[in-house]
Chains A and B, each alone.
Chain A
Amino acid sequence: MNVNLLTLSEVVDVSGEIGNFSVKVKQHPRYIDMEKCIACGLCAQKCPRKVDDEFNLGLNQRTSAYIKYGQAVPLKYAIDGETCIYLTRGKCKACEKFCPTSAINFEDQEQIIDLQVGAVILSPGFKPFDPSGFDFYGYRKIPDVVTSLEYERLLSSSGPCMGHLVRPSDHKEPRSIAWIQCVGSRSTNRCENGYCSSVCCMYAIKEALVTAEHTSGDGVRQTIFYMDIRSHGKDFDRFYEDAKAKGVRFIKARPHTIEAGKDNCGVTMRYACEDGKIMIENFDLAVLSIGLEPTADGKRLSDLFQLNLNQYRFAKTSDFSPACTNRPGIYVAGAFQTPKAIPRAVTEASSAAQEAATALIHARGDLTRSKTYPAERGIEGQEVRVGVFVCSCGINIAGIINVDEVARYARTLPHVALVENNLFSCSADTQEMMAKKIMEHSLNRIVIAACTPRTHETLFQETLQETGLNPYLVEMANIRNQNAWVHQREPEMATRKAKDQVRMAVAKAALSVPIERTKVSVVPKALVIGGGVAGMQAALSLADQNFQTVLLEKSDQLGGNAWKVNTTDQGEYIRPFLEKLIGRVESHPAIEVLKNARLTSAKGSVGSFTSEIQVNGASRDLTYGVAVLAVGGRETTPAEYLYGEDPRVVTHLELDALMRDDSAGLKKAKTTVFIQCVGSRDERRPYCSRICCTHSVKAAIHLKDLNPQMNVYVLYRDIRTYGEREDLYRKARDLGVIFIHYTPEQKPLVGREGADLTVEVFDPILRLPVSITTDRLVLAAAMEANDSKDLVELYKCAANADGFLNEAHPKLRPVDMAVDGLFVAGLCNYPKPLNETIAQAKAAAARAAVILSQTEMTLDAIKSFVTDKCDGCALCLDVCPYRALTLTDYQAGDGRTHLRMASDKALCKGCGLCSATCPKGGVYVHGFTMDQLRAQVIAALEDVA
């Protein structure tokens, strides 16, 4: 209701400033009335004009009347004006003839829409790199060379071959597939994309693994040709190791030529192994892992909004405010800022929303709308009167199912007081008619036999509410999506099934009772645990939105790890930023900072938590509506390579201290060696610490700047300078830093020869061990999360096997925790550089503000409830994944105390594991009680002899 979606639109002009922008939007004609379109797809079926389907990258065809894909939002068809026969040649209109709702409007015109807005968020996305210019890969010349995006469509069950993988040349299933990484990324030679696209390694591994699911039998060979595997995200390295264990072959090489195979089928590839040996190998199919490029739209928008772009034409932002542009009030999100995977894009979108929300704080709520309904009337004691509305959905349902027969049949069912057939149940006039009928016939249960409750239940619930009925007294029978559309060749069977579906729905509806949507009052206060940059930034973002915030820090100083790091990845000095941040946090009237403090208890749930806090040994209670967990992480202490035994062996943070305090000493060194992955990506910590490669490369450049004559070596497994950090890697090589690849099987050996510190490593290019005498050895020690076991226990939230606090969903909800009202940010979630920490903290604040901005939160009604049959056996307690059930004392009528379960509505998600576990009907889920499910089952089988 508060989101106005303008499709087919582009910004053509903008003026004004933060708080008051005038934006001119050009909306191109859709030629289909969105109000009338019911997405039945008849226009697409009848449209005679076939054009390449751009969503499937031209691998198949669509019609001029189309939706881009099945999950399109809004789910409304459109006519492509550039190819439509009527719009280009003045004849046809087949769609208009068949459209059951008269939604086609060929008179539709381009419109100019003027918007007044306070802030703008730009997220034009990215463009997949087009490899046609690389003649050596033969793309578009050799049939069996495809891009990774094309391959993605070939694998997709909604793609051109319905997920049954075939190669383009002969439409046979490929048995050996090769991926070539870094096509259009990390290359300044044949293109100008010097950056790493960040996502291709992971998608290639995913495609390789998914391939096995889409091919017949065993024996599919997947080979990935790579420079460095960059699986630097949370749990990504496990995925990589898993792929290796499942037989995906990884070859460190960049194939230089692809030629067509025999009869133009398959490919022949030449590549040089790490030892220089030239290999020639045949594959059935080659996949080019194409990178991400800025879009032309991004360039156009940045001109229009006068934004600064970087050298690659991505939006230029500071590491300290990754969503902010050079123009106040204009924010960016997604790959427009830098290439990134979904979790980061979603996180940064929330952080952009946080920036906009803070900018517009004075106007909060001014333009938001909400709906009101008449008071609910009770139905207790009333006879059950079911109204059944059978929808024709134009001919979508009625074309297959005999709706008259279904309606006639529905009249014979018990409790049914009224049956109507509607052409379109979802249309506004039908809703009005329905409301009238409900009143006229005193209906108190409604069954709608139409499409799916997943898209339309809310609409019908609202209609019930308009009449004062509880919204949970409606039940849908899905006779369109799960019947007419999938049984088009069996109309009789489909009609029979529809009758069964209606009977099932009536049986269930008859047992429906009003369900109350629980409301919880929200304590308008936030608790932030951890006073590092993540915690401080989250606290500040909440306080700037006028929410009282308590910031808990276990030590006597705010700032955490940021004190020990000198610069961000873009080279911005951290200390001044940090001091300013601490100053703002400590002086903010809405923030209470508690140092030397720790949490000792946590009770309650979203909207109202209560904790006991120990501050300087004294105890106090705190009540709050939400909490952000930002307890941070730390550099580990290496247990190898003479660390702690020889003072010349230091960690990254110790090197940063030397850079701050002893530049002269650093400069004197003739040789400095870095060893990567010290304690990361091994058995104990099977994850990548994400930040160390960039840190080493940056430090190596710093040393070369101090003393160009210094020999600097970096011994690495994979260099993971993702995104534009790749520029640092290239710069280091240009400056003469020597990078030597090592494997975990042949780790470097560190020793002492007399007073000399030596490092021996096997050089894979020379095929010889190399011994380096060094003045300093810098270890890229692994990062780990600070211990959060106590918080996990207190809040009953979750951490992964490596001790990092878990988000509710890595992509969909990357800063929410699975426990409602809890959010996570910073190193305790996963190692990450400062800019990502800041974005995540702001995102956590944005998400927390969604709760805090309400005085009362309405929860979903589908929740478990305990019945008087519960005897407190507590079998359900262990199976509840949300720990929503507790064992309590209960005073029975006889005055004796019994045990009984209690369900916390704020924690319960209505999954019903409790209900399926309970042997005695002691706990059910509203709307899905055992009686209701049983009634549906029995009704479904009524006709079975």
Chain B
Amino acid sequence: MTEKFEPVILGFLCNWCAYAGGDLAGVGRLQYPPNMRAVRVMCSGMVHPDIILTAFNHGADGVILMG
């Protein structure tokens, strides 16, 4: 059990703000941990609670909704 815990985080990113911010972070080469998997949505408001539960059911350690 010496392996470092690497959480798996599922991200829902609004196309108009957070996702655009993610792209800009790339242009600026801002480095961050590679633990998040992003799902692009057209508004953070379109993420149904069931989808978040699906993520946890399938083993996500965290869910981040950015919008």
Spell out A's residues near B (CB within 8 Å). Answer: 39, 41, 70-71, 158, 452-455, 478, 480-483, 485-490, 493-494, 496-497, 500-501, 504, 862, 910-913, 915-916, 918, 925, 928, 930, 933-934, 936-938, 940-941, 944-945
Contact = CB atoms under 8 A, between A and B. Distances in A.
B23 A482 contact: yes
A453 B37 contact: no
B20 A486 contact: no
Given A454-B15, A933-B39, A940-B37, A913 B46 contact: yes
B54 interface: yes
Nearest to B63: A937
B39 A925 contact: no
Contacts of A478: 22-23, 38, 40
Nearest to A914: B46
A934 B52 CA distance: 9
A65 to B, nearest CB: 15
Most B-side CB within 10 Å, residue of A489, A928, A941, A944: A941
B64 interface: no
A916 B42 contact: no
- Pairs of residues from A and B, 8 with the lowest C-beta to C-beta distance, nearest first: A912-B46, A481-B26, A944-B59, A485-B26, A911-B43, A941-B58, A940-B37, A493-B34
Contact of B29 (A486, A912, A918): A486
Most B-side CB within 10 Å, residue of A482, A494, A500: A482
A60 to B, nearest CB: 13
Contacts of B1: none
Contacts of A930: 48, 50-51
Interface of B: 8, 10, 15, 19-20, 22-32, 34, 37-43, 45-51, 54-55, 58-60
Nearest to A39: B27
Contacts of B47: 916, 933
Nearest to A489: B31
Most A-side CB within 10 Å, residue of B8, B34, B45, B60: B34
B37 A500 contact: yes
Contact of A70 (B8, B24, B48): B24
A454 B23 contact: yes
A55 B67 CA distance: 28
B24 A913 contact: no
Given A911-B45, A916-B46, A938-B54, A504 B34 contact: no
Contacts of B51: 930, 933-934, 937
Contacts of A481: 22-23, 25-27
Given A482-B38, A493-B34, A925-B46, A938 B58 contact: yes
Contacts of A453: 40
A526 to B, nearest CB: 30
Given A912-B41, A928-B41, A930-B48, A487 B58 contact: no
Contact of A913 (B20, B38, B45): B45
A933 B34 CA distance: 21
A454 B23 CA distance: 8
Chain B interface mostly helix, strand, loop or mixed?
mixed
A937 B58 contact: yes
Contacts of A496: 34
Contacts of B29: 41, 485-486, 488
Contacts of A910: 42-43
Most A-side CB within 10 Å, residue of B29, B37, B38, B50: B37
A652 B6 CA distance: 70
A933 B39 CA distance: 8
A945 B59 contact: yes
A937 B34 contact: no
Given A911-B46, A916-B47, A933 B41 contact: yes
A940 B39 contact: yes
Given A481-B27, A486-B31, A913-B45, A937 B38 contact: no
Contacts of B19: 452, 454
Contact of A936 (B39, B45, B46): B39
Nearest to A936: B39
Nearest to A485: B26
A71 B24 contact: yes
A915 to B, nearest CB: 6
Contacts of A70: 24, 27-28
A482 B23 CA distance: 6
A934 B54 contact: yes
B23 A912 contact: no
B48 to A, nearest CB: 5
B58 A913 contact: no
A489 B29 CA distance: 11
Nearest to A453: B40
Contact of B26 (A480, A500, A913, A925): A480
A497 B37 contact: yes
Given A913-B43, A928-B42, 14 more contacts: A71-B24, A452-B23, A480-B26, A485-B27, A494-B34, A496-B34, A500-B37, A504-B39, A912-B42, A936-B39, A937-B60, A940-B60, A941-B59, A945-B59
Given A478-B23, A486-B29, A941 B8 contact: yes
A477 to B, nearest CB: 10
9 contacts: A70-B24, A454-B23, A478-B22, A478-B38, A482-B23, A913-B46, A916-B47, A937-B10, A941-B55
A527 B34 CA distance: 54
B23 A916 contact: no
B37 A487 contact: no
A8 B15 CA distance: 31
Contacts of B32: 486-487
Contact of B49 (A39, A916, A925, A934): A916
Contacts of B48: 915-916, 918, 930, 933
A490 B37 contact: no
Given A936-B39, A941-B8, A487 B31 contact: yes
B50 to A, nearest CB: 7
A790 to B, nearest CB: 30
Contacts of B8: 941, 944
A504 B37 contact: yes
